[in-house]
Structure 1
């Protein structure tokens, strides 16, 4: 059961919707952490967060399993709510990695892509949870020189879906969370890792629905083209977007085992190149 917490001091909110914070305890001690803001009312995501807290490890566990940071509680400020994750040092998110760290050799790109894909496979297959609104910033790493790409933490656990390139073209705001929303977002994230370049983002309302859809479909064509050169084989994107190349009604008929087989094939394609 998640409790509401008080006595929080916080830094200004960053562009990723998070801010560094401290929770001051009654005895004067404090807990360092990260506030992750959401405009969604708590009743929308509380049940989901309880499943996250119950199932997903925050430390230890197998390397291939998805991990998140320990949730210490919920903090309210006006009409907004934030998750308070326990976190000693400010992490670096994947988008910041792609922007600030020079492009590594292809084998490093491939290894990172496999880690990310394996984490999402674990989320769906092992823990039977689909992320509400996956994006590049959803993955964070402990800062270091170099950054350890083998142990990301998955955040954005109460993020509200917004019109963006990571959102599936047939997303329905009034429907249930569908497994293929997460796969679409994952393929977009893998394409960013492959180029070692984050996609251009626009704020909600700055781009028409028609233009956003055009950009989504253009990106899909680009990364599945034989001419596209990147740190990952084109087969990765042909498999991923090809698996989604059906109407919504058809995708909704796919059972858990069919989706598991897809994730297995995707992770196998991202295995180290032996040649």
Structure 2
């Protein structure tokens, strides 16, 4: 076997991994955690595996397309920040033109996939999500305001809307409450990470809240949004059974304790570990939505009908 023949498979693998890296696979996990429970809640006690599969495929294509286009727009920032310096465009392992085409193909593909396998509303919501994430958050808000993740985070709330609409063809109040849960959860989740990497954001010229406000101000905002998140999860209990309500209450207390500990530690001038809240906030969201999925699949009597 020649050297060229031995090297070729390695290059193909590296290239494929680079394109996968553009899609930010870990971010797409949010889709799996929230979309399936939303679909199960939309039609309690009834599971349509094919519909769920088609919705997840379409949703993953949309998320992958949006994330790839985000990488294209943020390539200059990613080169500066240590946390993102290994992303494909920051290392120039994928040509920018190819990444742009890849992102557009994924985005358009998500619309047609959802339109043909679910309904038009789900496809439209996917495109709206991509446009909002790329143009409103990435290009307009991210580099201009410290409230970027508050409003830009709305894009991350859309999987529940897409999942609900795929089942019902509509958007009803439980979908809006699930949207609110993720909307309020996003700032404390993101700001906790930004507190850990605020020097990165300063170097890149991105005005994330921890780079322009004191730690006390940031942790106070984290605490406020954590309370709003927990209130929203409890509001959803009106459409669920006792299992979700119990888990949402217990998980909410746990999440609030962590947020209060972070705020109190900063207030006392003690060294704090904001990354702990960031990591545990992922677990909190997963626990709440997993409980929602189980509660919905079992079709437990909703609190409104007890």
TM-score by length of 1: 0.33
> 1 or 2, which has the higher helix percentage?
2
When Rg is computed on C-alpha atoms for both structures, the one with the higher figure is: 2
Instruction: Indicate the structure whose relative CO is greater, using CA pairs within 8 Å and at least 6 residues apart.
Output: 2
Structure-2-length-normalised TM-score: 0.30
